[in-house]
Amino acid sequence: MESLRGNGWRRWRAWFNVESTDYLQRGGSVHGLRGKLDCYLESQNEDSASYPHVYLVTAPRFLGYSFNPVSFWYLYDGRKNLKAMILEVNNTFDERRMYFLKESLPIFIEENPQQPSIGSQGSIASLQDPPSAKFTNVWSKDFHVSPFNSRKGAYSLTANDPFFPHLTGSLPINNTITLTSSKKHAKLVARVFSTAPSLDPSTFGSWHRLKFIASWWWVGFVTFPRIVREAAKLFFRRKLHVWYRPEVLKSSIGRQATAYETAIAYIFQDFLRVRISQSSLPFALKYTPATVEDPATKIFRPQSLPSGAPSPDPVILQPTTPLFYTSLALSNDISKYLELALQCSDPLKSTVYTNNPPLLQSIIIRHLQKPLVSLYQHNVYSRLPLSTRLRWLPIRFLRHWHLSALDWHVIHSPDPVRRDRYRRATLKLLVAKYLAFGVVEIVDVILWLVKAWLLWQHLEAFSEWLVGDWNWSLVAQDLGLTLRFAGVHLWWLMGFGI
C-alpha cells in the first residue's frame, strides 16, 4: 500500500474497505494510515523517513464489520529491502498490542576465534550479507491473547518477503508464529499463508466482483464464533487450565472506554488541571487519558511557578485501562484510591502507570485533596440549590451520605452537559455495584423491564375501558399506573434519574 503516504484514505462506500481507525493507536487521523504509522514509529524512537515503502496484510471490513486477530505491517527502507515488521495483535477483549520487530541479522561464527581480524567472518560479514527473502525475529510475550495461556513465554516469527527482491517479486505470503512457554517448550504454531495467486480487484468485471463477494463476505463474521468454538473444545474436552484476563501493561492498549467511563475521564482530567494550576508545588504532571475521544497527552503546571524558572521534568500519570475511571468514580476518597492504585505491584491488576510513584503518593495526591476538605462540611451542602441536592441525593445516599472530591468538582463545574453525564454515569455505576454485581448492563435491562411492565399494565387497563367494562376502582388503578409510568420518564427528563 504505497498510497499510504497520501493525504489520507477516502472513506469509500464499498463492500470491503480498510479504515485507519481500526489500526495502531485508537482513533482516526487526518493523515490516514500513513500518519498513524509515522506517529507510532516515532513512539518507538524510529525515523519514519527510514521506511518510505509500507504494505499492510490484514482482513478488511465488510459492511462496517471487522475483527482482526493479527495484522502484518511490512516496512521497507529506501533501497526497498524489508527491514522491519509490525505485528498488530487484537484479543477478544478489545485490547491491542503492537510489536515492532526489526530485521535480525545473521550471526556468523569465526573459524579461528583466537585470531580475530577485520577481514574474518563476523559482524563485518553479516553487514555485507545480501538481503534475504526470510524475515525472522524472537521477542517476549507480554499480552494476554488466549485464556489457556499465561502472559509468560516468547514468540518467534518467520515470514516471507512477498515482494523480494526490492519490491519486484511476487512471492506467496507465508508467516509462521510459534509460541514458546517460559520452560522453552513450543506450545502453539500458527500460520498465515497464501492459498492461491493474488488478485487485483481493479481488473474485476461485474461477474468476478459478485463471485468474490459471495466467496468471502462471511469470513469476518465467523472469525469470532470459530474462536469461541475452539475455546469450548479446549475447555470441555481437553480440560485445559484457564488463566483469567489480567489488566494490560503500559506497552499495550486497553479496551475502548464506555460512554460512562468517557464522561468520568473528562471530569478527572479537568480536576487535575484545576487542582494543579492552583498548586504551589514545583512540579509538572504529564497525563495521558485512556479514552479514544481525547487521547492526546496533556501537561499540567502550577500557575504560581515563576515565568523564567526552569520547567521541572513532568511526572507521568497514565491510566492503562478505562477500568481506572470506573474504580475512581466508585471510590469515596480518590486520594486513597490513587495511592492504592499506584502501590499495586501486581502487573495483573495494575490500572495506572507512573514513572515516580513516591512523589505522587507523598506530595501530589494529598495536595490535590487538601483544598476540598472544607467542602465536605454539611453546612456547605445545605446551601446548594434544592434541585441540585435532589439530583445528588441518590449518589449521596449510596456513598453513605458523603460526596467524593470529583463529585464536588462536578457540582461547581460551569458545564451543565458534562456535569449531567458524570452524575448519571456515577449513579449507574453505584447502583450496579450494590444491586447488579457491578454489571451496568443489568441495570439497563431492569429499567427497561420496569418501563415495559408499567406500559403493559397501562395498555391492559386502557383496553378494558374500550370495551366498556370499567368502574371507579379501575379508574383509580389506571390513574396510578399512568402516574408511575409518567413519573419514570419525568424523573429522567428533569435530570434526576440514571
The DSSP H or E segment spanning 318 is strand 315-319
What is the model's pTM? Answer: 0.78
**If the chain, 498 residues long, is cut into consecutive pieces of 10 residues, what is the mean pLDDT of each piece?**
42 74 84 90 92 93 86 94 94 92 60 38 42 87 89 92 90 92 87 89 87 87 88 89 87 89 92 83 84 81 70 83 92 85 82 85 64 50 81 88 87 87 91 87 85 76 64 66 62 54
The DSSP H or E segment spanning 124 is helix 123-128
DSSP-derived secondary structure for 361-375:
IIIIHHHHHGGGGGG
Query: Using CB atoms within 10 A of its CB, is residue 328 exposed (0-12), middle (13-18) or buried (19+)?
Result: buried
Query: Using CB atoms within 10 A of its CB, is residue 32 exposed (0-12), middle (13-18) or buried (19+)?
Result: buried
Q: Which residues of 234-271 are buried (b: 16+ CB within 10 A; e: fewer)?
A: eeeeeeeeeeeeebbbbebbbbbbbebbbbbbbbbbbb
Cα distance between the two ends of the chain = 47
